[in-house]
Amino acid sequence: MKKVRKAVIPVAGFGTRFLPATKSTPKEMMPLIDKPIIHYIVEEAVNSGIETIIFVTGRHKRAIEDYFDYYPELEQVLNKSGKEKEIEMLRQISNMAEFVFIRQKQQLGLGHAVLTAANLVGNEPFAVLLGDEIIKNDEKPGIKQLIDIYYQFGKSVIGTMEVPKEDVSKYGIVAGKEVINGIKIIESLIEKPSVEEAPSTTAIIGRYVLTPNVFDALRETPIGRGGEIQLTDGLSKLREKEVIYAKDIEGIRHDTGNKLGYIEAIIDFALDRQDLKDEVFKMIKEKYKEMEKDSVEQN
Q: Which residues bind ligand G1P (CB under 6 A)?
A: 110, 130, 132-133, 171-172, 191, 203-206, 230-232
Phi, psi of 81 (to 5 degrees): -100, 20
Length in residues, the chain: 299
DSSP letters spanning 189-243: EEES--TTT-S-SEEEEEEEEE-THHHHHHHTPPP-GGGS--HHHHHHHHHHHS-
- Of the pair 48, 202, the CB lying nearest ligand G1P is at 202
CB of 175 to ligand G1P, least distance (A): 14
CB of 169 to ligand G1P, least distance (A): 10
CB of 259 to ligand G1P, least distance (A): 15
Q: Specify which residues 128 forms β-bridges with.
A: 8, 208
- DSSP β-ladder status, 52-57 and 98-103: parallel
Give the end-to-end CA distance of the chain in Å, rounded to a whole number: 66
- Show Cβ contacts of residue 107 under 8 Å, excluding neighbours closer than 6 positions: 12, 13, 14, 58, 228
Q: Are 185 and 245 in contact (CB under 8 A)?
A: yes
For ligand G1P, the nearest residue by Cβ is 172
Q: Are 122 and 212 in contact (CB under 8 A)?
A: yes
- Of the pair 91, 165, the CB lying nearest ligand G1P is at 165
- Of the pair 141, 159, the CB lying nearest ligand G1P is at 159
CB of 287 to ligand G1P, least distance (A): 30
Q: Which sign does the torsion angle of CA 109, 111, 116, 121 carry?
A: positive
CB of 141 to ligand G1P, least distance (A): 17
- Of the pair 44, 132, the CB lying nearest ligand G1P is at 132
CB of 43 to ligand G1P, least distance (A): 19
Cis omega (within 30 of 0) for bond into 20: yes
CB of 111 to ligand G1P, least distance (A): 8
- Of the pair 111, 125, the CB lying nearest ligand G1P is at 111
- Of the pair 72, 226, the CB lying nearest ligand G1P is at 226
Nearest to 128 by CA among 102, 140, 110, 141: 110
Q: Are 229 and 111 in contact (CB under 8 A)?
A: yes
CB of 117 to ligand G1P, least distance (A): 16
- Of the pair 7, 93, the CB lying nearest ligand G1P is at 7
Phi, psi of 191 (to 5 degrees): -85, 125
Give the up-direction half-sphere exposure of residue 241: CA atoms within 13 A in the CB hemisphere: 15
- Of the pair 28, 133, the CB lying nearest ligand G1P is at 133
